Amino acid sequence: MLARLYTGSEHIYAFNKSYHGTSGNSYSLTNVGTWASPVPKLSTVHTLAYPNLIRNPHHNVDSLVRDAEETILSTSNHKIAGVWAEPILGVGGIVPLPEGYFKRLAEVTRKYGGLVISDEVQTGFGRIGK
């Protein structure tokens, strides 16, 4: 809600297979089928393909960033509230973001007026090392 109020946009983006909670509006950001319930999600929360180079070796950081930007352009009025991301996909398979991807995604997010929200609940507090 704060990102929407601050930016004046209601378009929010989160990765496929990401987990951001199951209560309130955070449920709309969660895209893991095992956590699905019959509660309607917000219609202005959009899904970005998770940038998994292990399962999609034909991609690279450039193509993944281009795909994310195309999704933003095709689902918004070119002004967004923000992108929520886990640095390492937790519930969806313990998959780290490719090196350099998060920085480039942040640049695209800011280009369209959005905030970058790094959800580090599972990866924070030394749980993955230094």
pLDDT in tens, the chain (130 residues): 888 899 999 999 988 777 666 666 664 666 666 666 666 566 678 888 888 888 888 889 999 999 999 999 999 999 999 998 887 776 666 677 889 999 999 999 999 999 998 877 666 666 666 6
d(CA 130, CA 128): 7
Taken in order of first residue, the domains within the chain and their CATH numbers are 2-118 (3.40.640.10)
What DSSP assignment string belongs to 67-93?
Answer: HHHHHHHHHSSS---EEEE-SEETTTT
Spatial contact of 14 and 20, defined as CB atoms under 8 Å apart:
yes
